[in-house]
Structure 1
Amino acid sequence: MTASRITTIGFDADDTLWQNEAYFRLTQERFTELLRDYAPSDHLQDRLLAAERRNIGAYGFGVKGFTLSMIETAIEVTEGRVPARVISELLGSGRAMLDHPVEILPHARETVEALSRDFRLVLITKGDLLHQERKLAQSGLGDFFDAVEIVSDKTAATYRSVFARHGTGADEALMTGNSLRSDVIPALEAGGFGVHVPSRIEWALEAAKEPADHPRYSSLPDLGALPDLVERLGSTPTPSAVQPAAR
């Protein structure tokens, strides 16, 4: 692992700090039940995934785009004959997901709290602005972060920009999250460290090949191992690195 001073640590939110994908899976199961008279479950899931992929550019990431993709798929597979009650239930499922209480994942609070004492922490997440702001407020973790960035997508340019605004540059930053495609690989491409903490359930559109040979890549079994990893990387926070950044 390439030695470097780390001044800033970025965290993903969904399925890194709190539960998320499990609720999508439960709603997707209900979606296939509602439409089981029109198509097999596997076919419905494939069509829904294709709609999500197609609609990301228009709707972005999150519950609202997922709900619209479910409705679009229901209309397509029924050739416009989907009952109004099914559309109503799909809308209700989307609202239920938006209103679901936040479930903090194991080790998230103690890890964020411990690292916030010595490093600048930045929450970097995709999704609907209002929903992500609501989840952060309900999580009780907001006070540990020096900055919060809710972005439309995560690319190398995104990380370079975020860590330039809220840190000392991407080369002195570490990004941790459950998605190789969004949290790890673009952070490595930006010149930073990337730490993968796999989640129990992975969205198919976030899958990517593990960059196992990259000198700045690490994989951990859970967030509880992150403080020890940061210490092993030989990070040496400076006074300027631990002052809260402007929000």
Structure 2
Amino acid sequence: MSAKSSLTTIGFDADDTLWENEQFFRMSEKRFEALLAPHTDTPDLSNRLLEVERRNLDLYGFGIKGFTLSLIETALEVTDGKIPSSVLGEILAAGREMLRHPIETLPHVQDTLEQLAGRYRLVLITKGDLFDQERKLAQSGLGDFFEAVEIVSTKDRGTYERIFNRHGDGPQYSMMIGNSLKSDIVPAIEAGGWGVYVPHALTWVLEHVDAPVAEPRFRQIEHLGELGALLADIG
């Protein structure tokens, strides 16, 4: 297939692809550990939190609000419900700070979107809390580059089939770009599209899977500034 002649639609992930995200979760987790240190000697607090997050995904989905609830639940569990209300208040405050944090776009994002807009249909496909994702997109100033925005609860093969049929000419004429192999790349390729992996220094452990290196439609670039050359190469 010639991407140059038939690739019509490009989907972009948002968090840690267009702007920083995971670093704020890591910072809040460190703050959480410091807050709980006087109240528990649990040696594997990070793993305990991860267990709670994992079992809450189906209830709360992805995002800061679900993360904050998981912090509170973990605090209650590891202290047998004896965590002071003042500490719970500080955990809630940390969640609110994350929701108000200014957006920091990643390098090459603005230039790359400017180059691609008009040449391809650009679709933002992001997973998480509706209000928070809308806030981040508005603050980023990138909204005008996208012909469509899809905020979804999960990213699987069916998600990409539906979105690329709705906003493009089908998955076979589409490409998905993102920092998560599990959510952005593997299911987009399974749907029949291209998957371009852009690693980020910080990626949530629950998003880790092996790269589908044997797939002919899998590509990896170091940053979005390399995307233009990649499109020319596969075309």
Scaled to the shorter chain, the TM-score interval is: over 0.9
- Counterpart in 2 of 1:12? 13
- Counterpart in 2 of 1:161? 162
- Counterpart in 2 of 1:126? 127
- Report deviation, 1:219: 0.5
- Report deviation, 1:228: 1.2
Residue 27 in 1 paired to residue 4 in 2?
Answer: no
- Counterpart in 2 of 1:223? 224
Aligned partners of 2:48, 2:56: CA distance in 1, in Å?
12
Where does structure 1 lack aligned partners over 5 or more consecutive residues?
235-247
1:1-247 correspondence to structure 2 within 5 Å: 3-4=2-3, 5-37=6-38, 38-40=40-42, 43-234=44-235
One-letter amino acid of the counterpart of residue 157, structure 2: A
- Report deviation, 1:117: 2.4
Normalised to the residue count of structure 1, the TM-score between the two structures is: 0.92
- Report deviation, 1:3: 3.8
Aligned partners of 1:139, 1:166: CA distance in 2, in Å?
22
Q: What SS does the aligned partner of 1:149 have?
A: strand
Q: Alignment identity in percent? A: 56
Q: What SS does the aligned partner of 1:211 have?
A: coil
- Report deviation, 1:230: 1.2
One-letter amino acid of the counterpart of residue 139, structure 2: Q
One-letter amino acid of the counterpart of residue 170, structure 2: G
Aligned partners of 2:232, 2:153: CA distance in 1, in Å?
32
Normalised to the residue count of structure 2, the TM-score between the two structures is: 0.97
Aligned partners of 1:113, 1:12: CA distance in 2, in Å?
16
Where does structure 2 lack aligned partners over 5 or more consecutive residues?
none
Aligned partners of 1:188, 1:138: CA distance in 2, in Å?
31
- Report deviation, 1:231: 1.5
One-letter amino acid of the counterpart of residue 228, structure 1: A
Number of equivalent positions = 232
Aligned partners of 1:137, 1:27: CA distance in 2, in Å?
23
What's the CA shift string for 1:38-75, capped at 9, x where partnerless? Answer: 034x5110010111110010001000000000000000
Aligned partners of 2:8, 2:28: CA distance in 1, in Å?
40
RMSD: 0.9
